[in-house]
Amino acid sequence: MKTHLLIPAAGMGRRLGKDLPKALVPLRGEALLLATLKRFAFPWIAMPVIVLFPRGHEAEFRKVLASYPIPVELVEGGGERQDSVMRGLRFIKGEANLVAIHDAARPFVSPEDISAVVEAAERHGAATLAMPVADTILMNDGGGFLHNTPDRSLLWACQTPQVFQIDVIRAAYGWAGENGTLCTDDATLVYRSGHAVKLVRGSASNFKITTGSDLQYADFLMEHGFS
């Protein structure tokens, strides 16, 4: 079950109203990145943890991570999330045959959900946390009118971590490079490359901090003892 951990953290925090990398935005005095890394305090996480940072910000990341007790390999990220993950995969070494890829801005993922998705990937080769959607989803026709309404019972909202056997995710990235395929998450990339991906039900608390209101809600949860 030994598992590598890869954290894409190369995005900027402009939608949060911050002029710094989103992973370094403070949440009750602590960088989001540190709050997230603390969720992965398992003895089966392989070292070093790989963190993808945005160009020009290595010094800030090193300063923040100086207090983190587990070895971290800082790797400069790319222009797109997919580019960053691809770079990070090149730095994976060792005997662990799984890699968990988790957004730096999801600091409330539960240990139980992490363990569940890792176990599913061990069995199926690829797995992701996800949640059934609560709202009806409407498809736009491109001109501002309703085009279609998908069956809500089949729709799940993607979360992370997404966990893969290393040969599966590397093969998917090789396929994407050959075909020029770009995806916004790794589970979709693996699926499009031809490998099944197991959906593991996550938790509503595992939301991604993207906007200022998300950050305010996260602060509220921390203030009221969420752990």
Domains of the chain: 3-127+158-223 (3.90.550.10)
Which sign, positive or negative, has the C-alpha torsion 168, 174, 179, 183?
positive
- Residues near 37 by Cβ (< 8 Å), separated by ≥ 6? 7, 49, 68, 70
The pLDDT of residue 14: 78
Strand pairing class (98-101; 156-165): antiparallel
Q: What strands, in cross-sheet order, belong to the sheet with 3-8? A: 72-76, 49-53, 3-8, 98-101, 156-165, 126-132, 198-201
Residue 183's pLDDT is what?
97
Distance between CA atoms of residues 217 and 17, nearest Å: 15
The DSSP code for 129 is E
Q: What pLDDT score does 184 carry?
A: 94
Between CA 106 and CA 37 the distance in angstroms is 10
User: Quick one: which H or E segment has residue 26?
Assistant: strand 26-27
pLDDT at 225: 83
pLDDT tens per residue across all 227 residues of the chain:
899 999 999 988 777 777 899 999 999 999 999 999 999 999 999 999 999 999 999 999 999 999 899 999 999 999 999 999 999 999 999 889 999 999 999 999 999 999 999 999 999 999 999 999 999 999 999 999 999 999 999 999 999 999 999 999 999 999 999 999 999 999 999 999 999 999 999 999 999 999 999 999 999 999 988 87
Q: Provide the token pair at 71.
A: 């070895």
The pLDDT value recorded for residue 167 is 97
CA-atom Rg of the chain in angstroms: 17
How far is 74 from 56, CA to CA, in rounded Å? Answer: 12
**Type of residue numbered 2:** K
Peptide bond into 161 cis (omega under 30): yes
Q: Is the preceding omega at residue 21 within 30 degrees of 0, hence cis?
A: no
**Distance from C-alpha of 186 to C-alpha of 195, rounded to nearest angstrom:** 12
Beta bridge partners of 146: 140
